[in-house]
Amino acid sequence: MFSSDRSESQAQAAFDRALEARQTRRGLMTGGAKVAGAVALAGAAPFALGGLTANRSTQAQEATPAGAVVTGTPNEQMAEVLAAFAGFDNPPLPTVDPQVARELPSFADAYRTVLSNRGEAALEEVADITTILIPGPAGDLVGRVFTPEGDGPFPVIVYFHGGGFVIANITTYENSCRALANAAGAVVVSVGYRQAPENPFPAAVDDAYAATQYLIANAELVNGDPARVAVAGESAGGNLAAVVCLLARDQGGALPVHQLLVYPITTFAPEGDAAASLGDGSLFLNQDALLWFAGYYQPDPTSTAASPLLADLSDLPPATIILAEIDPLRAQGEVYGQALEDAGVDVTVTTYEGVTHEFFGMTRVVDAAADAVAESADRLRASFGEAGGETDDDENEATPAA
């Protein structure tokens, strides 16, 4: 582990050594790992990414060697988490099926490993955590409710976790929810939506929209204010948060007061400027993994319910877009932010340097994560105040976790 007085170059060198050891153990430096997971289901519809079309019934392609997908320079703090992840010796995501992938150690485990090695608690404390059931289009959905200090009624953030619509769950992204609850002084309800390949597109979209509309109409169930409900999500969850706003506008539903989009997927057919960062991968996400996720999710890349970048973006709630410098999704997030601004939406876009996809919830290790959460909370509070309720600075002052 890296001590606080070690230089960034030393941290990078340690990360590089861990990565090299991982590659050597798995034979990836010269091996020909197959993208088996992405072609497992024969006869599936083709999917597109960055102008390339693949079909899961075709011959498996060679996976990119792990050493070739780390681009950019992670800062010392980010490198420490990446080194912990490299130590898990996970097989490359495209070489396994979803059932295996869901059991592999994740970025969250790497973050918790760093904190454990320091003797520090992994998760921020919140005042209360409960579970509710949310009626969904195919049955009840689990909602985990994170409540901050205060009496309420609180603003509400309906949150959708990442994982490419295939892996991860509420627990994987729990620290993001805890951090947002504390920083924004809001109840955060993390929704366990259906995932592919068992439930391909548009199941996750249908669940996300139903959950949002239910929680706006029934905010009192979580001690929330129905006039102050926002949506938020990371990666695939950022896609869902963006699409929920489009659906609410187009279907006459209740509009959230804000959309927090953390490195969102905004198109499944990126081209031009939106494809510019596809090569900027890391151990947490690269272009091979994006293809693997899309192959199981099976979206229609021409549908605005999958690719919100294609939609008319006028008359949408204020948006905050948080991006990572080292992330294949960075460029499409930047393009989406510009498209929102061009459509007259109040939007801010911030790209945090020296960090990778999945940094947002790492608030106790990565300073940029704490800054990103604080920025997000400030924007959310502003929208909550404009929606007609008292701001949490006045009524439900959040107590930062130690």
Mark 187-221 as b/e (b = at least 16 C-beta within 10 Å): bbbbbbbbbbbebbbbbbbbbbbbbbbbbbeebee
DSSP secondary structure string for all residues of 138-187? TEEEEEEEEE-SS-SPEEEEEEE--STTTS--TTTTHHHHHHHHHHHT-E
Taking the C-alpha atoms of residue 56 and residue 59, their distance in angstroms, rounded to an integer, is 8
Sequence-distant (≥ 6) Cβ neighbours of residue 371 within 8 angstroms? 352
- Which of 190, 206, 280, 357 is the catalytic position? 357
- Which of 106, 235, 282, 383 is the catalytic position? 235
Burial category of 369 from C-beta neighbours within 10 Å (exposed 0-12, middle 13-18, buried 19 and up):
buried
Chain length of the chain: 402
Helix ranges restricted to H, 235-328: 236-251, 287-297
Q: If we measure between CA atoms, which residue out of 236, 103, 106 comes closest to residue 161?
A: 236
Taking the C-alpha atoms of residue 21 and residue 325, their distance in angstroms, rounded to an integer, is 25
Chain position carrying tokens 């396994």: 96
Whether the CB-CB separation of 267 and 307 falls below 8 Å is answered with yes
**235 flagged as catalytic:** yes
Whether the CB-CB separation of 346 and 380 falls below 8 Å is answered with no
Taking the C-alpha atoms of residue 3 and residue 239, their distance in angstroms, rounded to an integer, is 37
Phi, psi of 261 (to 5 degrees): -115, 110
Taking the C-alpha atoms of residue 197 and residue 218, their distance in angstroms, rounded to an integer, is 31
Q: If we measure between CA atoms, which residue out of 309, 112, 143 comes closest to residue 224?
A: 143
Whether the CB-CB separation of 166 and 293 falls below 8 Å is answered with yes
**161 flagged as catalytic:** no
**357 flagged as catalytic:** yes
Beta partners for 153?
none
Whether the CB-CB separation of 380 and 230 falls below 8 Å is answered with yes
Paired tokens of 186: 């809001």
- Which of 225, 280, 327, 392 is the catalytic position? 327
Beta partners for 141?
134
By annotation, the residues acting in catalysis are 235, 327, 357
